[in-house]
Each structure stands twice: as structure tokens, then as C-alpha cells.
Chains A and B, each alone.
Chain A
Amino acid sequence: MSEKTGLTYLPTGLPIPIAEADGLSAPYWEGLRQNRLLVQRCRHCDTWQFGPEWICHRCHAFDPQWTEVEPRGLIFSWERVWHPSHAALRQHGPYLAVLVEIPHAGGVRMVGNLLGDPVQIVSIGASVRGIFEHHSESAPPYSLLQWQTS
């Protein structure tokens, strides 16, 4: 659809992601702004962890290290959304959300949009690469990680 050829996949006006008051996810969001995907990895037992937490769920070491990961993965599941659950999406038409598994980061998963034709055929297991999507004009500014079949 033509309206999706703009700078962002979805229209502006959706909720803006910010770190929690305690700053738990701040390194993740700052990383995206710098075109870097950061995922927690325990310094002691090497366990990957996402979403972030203050403790490693395996060995209970505190403050797992933020570690840069190459943004590529496999489609673990997906959905095509038709119903607008937000005013910003009215009249927008369908869009795709994917759950991407990152095998080289312990199989952690993250949700993003699948760029391209919103009515394309989506295959579970397909390879995707990450595309950083910057919302620099937003207040506050933020960045998202989107996905494209590779």
C-alpha cells in the first residue's frame, strides 16, 4: 500500500516507548537509536535474556550485561492485523506483525512489523533481517526495530 512507503511502517500517533522509571530497559532503547540491537547476556553463565530484568534468571547474578547482537533472525510466528485498536490506525488498512526468534542470541524473541506488502504470504521459519526505524521528530524521539525478509 502506498501509504506504507513513507519513513515509518505505521502512521504516527501510536504510543511512544520509553524506559521504565527505574531505567531497566534504557540501554535497549538507546541502542536502537544508534542502530544497535542490545540484548542482555549474563557475565557469569552466558545466558541470554530478553526482555531485560535486573537478575539473570538462570544463575541469579545481578545486572546482566547488555551485549550487541546482529539484527537477524527467523520468523517464529506472525499476524495480519485488520481491526484498528487505536485512532492512529483508522483507515490505515492491514499491517503485519511478526515474532522473530534470534538463534544466535539464545533464541530470544522480539516483536516487530514485517516491512513490505502487508498482504504478502508470510512463512514461519523464514529468515529476516532487522531495519532500524527512527522516529526522530517524535517527542521524545525513539527508534524501533523492524524486519524484512532476507
Chain B
Amino acid sequence: MNSRTLADRTLRGRVAVIGIGETDYYRHGGSPDPEFKLALKAILAACGDAGIDPRDIDSFSSYSDDRNEASRLAAALGTRRLRAATMQWGGGGGGSCAAVANAAASIVAGLADCVVVFRSLAQGQYGRFGQTTGIDTVSGEKAYLMPYGVLAPPQRFAVRVRRYMHEHGVKQEALRAIALASYHHAQSNPRAVMYGKPLDAAKYDASRWIAEPFHLYDCCMENDGAAALVLVPVERAKEFRSKAVYVLGAAVGSGYRTGAIPHNSPLYASASFDTVAPDLYGMAGLGPSDVGVVQCYENFTGGVAMALSEHGFFKPEEANQFLAFENLVAPFGRLPLNTSGGNLAECYIHGFELVLEAVRQVRGTSTNQVKRNDVAMVIGAPMVTPVSNLLLGSEATL
């Protein structure tokens, strides 16, 4: 393969986000709208933000077996013609950035011209992720876990985080700082479910254990809502009313046998980014020091610690020093983290709300705007497989 061909095989500077939108965010069971209606509302909001006719969308991309499938959306919206309809394999929020990458790849490959990437999730209507009642028999991975009370995500991931803390001497205070940063940012974000509900160290320490080492505030919320963005080829980036934000890179996957069940991945105490983080930096031509702000999926705070380390922001042995509240908050922290409140305190839309927040940061419109906002990172779902990540940038970074 010649170098020209290799250079062509990139998403860097090829596509632009021209619109973002979300529904009101609710605690689980709080949505007055059915999940499909939430999806429609988020898509229309994103189109409205871009100033684009929703009928001009030609493709849809989502992840985690989103129930609101492309053909129904296209029929409901009167989409003139449907082209790419892409679903990223894998449960959890590991596909939050992959859905953007797949959409971008569809555009670059000539399969799509205007893609909506979205996630709609009403846990109040289809079952809470934190509860497993109503299952009689289980097979496969679940059979090795659920009869032992390892049922829902907190129990599945606490063991992995405990091992990480053991191997690297990571303290509870490092996890706490991540929770405090998310809640701090939510206090100036009116969209956030936890807006007006601040968290401090004493309240965190006094909160009940879910599964040690996770306190209540180490765990994501369970919510109802939807979020969407619109992606077009870079040539069209300036046709729309909102400031375009550019994809600088994306990567998807996981390392050697990460999917070996139950809990048999060779690199166990890991967020699954050992191969995926280098891929992202390689495509973008950037390194950790170029990144001004990070949105990292908080299924659990411990996974955030692992993922940030695997993206090169600190060595695992430095986690206790780096993961201090003042380092993680906008506008001037060393690495402002989850500036909308994220899955812990804004709304758990399977991490897609974090992608929207990265767009806002690059636009300069976040409710916790950072100063170094030319390059924003998103990290999708530590500890699952496949995982994914994304670098977004301003026009100046192209």
C-alpha cells in the first residue's frame, strides 16, 4: 500500500458536526414521552440547531441496539431517501464514539451525505440497567456471574476496578474527585438532572456502598432522554447556521482477547483502551498534551481513572496526584473533565450527552466553558468491549 493510499484512510478533517440537540433530561420513569418520540425530538432539535430540513437527513447511526431503528425514523420524518443505516455491535456505551466514527466513515466512503447520530434511552419504559428481576434462567457469560449475585453493571465492574486499585495503589479519594467534578459542573448546567443538587466530599463519604469500592456517587444515573447530532462532509461545513466542529480522529475496538468471559481478559485491570488510544492519537496526529478538555463516560468513576490513564494523561501510579478536584474542573483545571456533569450528574444517555458536550466546548458554548477548547476528547464506556473514542477540533486545528 503506498503512502498516498494510507493518508487517504483517515477521518481527520473529512467531516463536520453541524448540529446538536437533546430532549429534556429526566430521571428514569420521568419522561412524559415514549422513547421513540424522544428520539424524534432530539433529531429535530439537532436539525433545528443546524438549520437543516430534517427531510434532508439520508442516514442514521447508533449503538447498543438502540430500539429506534433507522427505517422507522426515516418513515416518520419523511426522509426523502434512506442510505446508510449503521448499528455498532456491543452493549453498554462503548459505541458512543463508534457511532460517530461509523457515520463519518459512511460519509468519507460515499455511502452517506447527511447522517444523524443519536441515542434514545428511556430506562423507565424498558427496564432499569441497575435491576435484573424477572429473569428465570441465564446462559453464556451471565450464567457464570448472575447466580453469584454479580447481576448488574456495578457488581460486574467493581471487581475490575478493585484489581486496578490494588495493582497501582489508587485510593478512594481519586474516584471521589471524579464524582465531585461531575457534580460541580452540573450545578451550572440547567439541563442536568442533578442541577441544584450539589455533592461534597462529606456527602460522598457518607453515601451508601453499592458494591465496594463504589459508593452511590461513583455510579451513573438511570435516566430517560435522547441526544443527537448531524454530520456532513467537510466541504459543506459552512453552509449551516451553527459553528462547525470537525472530527480529528476516532478509534474503535479493544485489545487481545478483551472479550474473554467471564472476567478472563489477559489485561484485566484495564478500561480496554490499550490499543484504541494509540489508534486515536495516530489518526489525529495529536498527543495527550494537545487535548484541552475530556468527556469520559462514567459508568463508574473507577473506569474513568483507568481510561484517562490509558489515554496518556497520567501514569496509573500518578492517579492519586492527578485525580484531584482542582485539576478536573473548568475553566482552568489541568484537564477539565465531564464539563456538563456527564453520566453521573447531567443525564445518562449512554454517553451520547458527552459527545454533545465536546461539540459545545469546541464551539465555545458550554455552561462550563474551558479556555483551551481547540481540541476536545470523548471516551466511550471504559471496561466494556468494543470501546471507542473521538477527538473533535475547531477549524484552526485542521
Beyond A19-B139, A51-B264, A110-B263, 5 additional contacts (C-beta under 8 Å) are A15-B137, A15-B142, A16-B147, A51-B144, A109-B263
Interface residues on A, range: 35 or more
Chain A's closest residue to B163 (CB) is A77
Selected from A82, A99, A111, A124, the residue in CB contact (under 8 A) with B209 is A82
Minimum CB–CB distance from B266 to chain A (whole Å) comes to 9
Is B200 positioned at the interface, with any CB of A under 8 Å from its CB? no
Question: How far is it, in angstroms, between the C-alpha of A29 and the C-alpha of B123 when the chains are bound?
Answer: 33
A-B contact pairs, 18 of them (CB 8 A): A14-B147, A14-B149, A15-B137, A16-B138, A17-B146, A18-B143, A25-B140, A77-B160, A77-B162, A77-B163, A78-B162, A79-B213, A82-B211, A85-B155, A86-B131, A109-B264, A111-B159, A124-B166
Contact yes or no, B132 A15, CB < 8 A: yes
Q: In chain A between 64 and 119, which residues have their CB closer than 8 angstroms to a CB of chain B?
A: 76-83, 85-87, 89, 94-95, 97, 99, 108-113
Please report the number of residue pairs spanning A and B whose Cβ atoms sit closer than 8 angstroms. 140
Q: In chain A between 9 and 33, which residues have their CB closer than 8 angstroms to a CB of chain B?
A: 10, 14-21, 25, 29
Contact yes or no, B148 A97, CB < 8 A: yes
Question: How far is it, in angstroms, between the C-alpha of A95 and the C-alpha of B155 when the chains are bound?
Answer: 11
Is A44 positioned at the interface, with any CB of B under 8 Å from its CB? no
Is B141 positioned at the interface, with any CB of A under 8 Å from its CB? yes
Contact yes or no, A113 B138, CB < 8 A: no
Is B34 positioned at the interface, with any CB of A under 8 Å from its CB? no
| Chain A residues within an 8 Å CB radius of B141 | 51
Would A85 and B152 be within 8 Å (CB), given that A15-B136, A15-B147, A111-B144 are in contact? yes
Contact yes or no, A87 B133, CB < 8 A: yes
Question: How far is it, in angstroms, between the C-alpha of A81 and the C-alpha of B131 when the chains are bound?
Answer: 14
Question: How far is it, in angstroms, between the C-alpha of A110 and the C-alpha of B145 when the chains are bound?
Answer: 9
Is B150 positioned at the interface, with any CB of A under 8 Å from its CB? yes
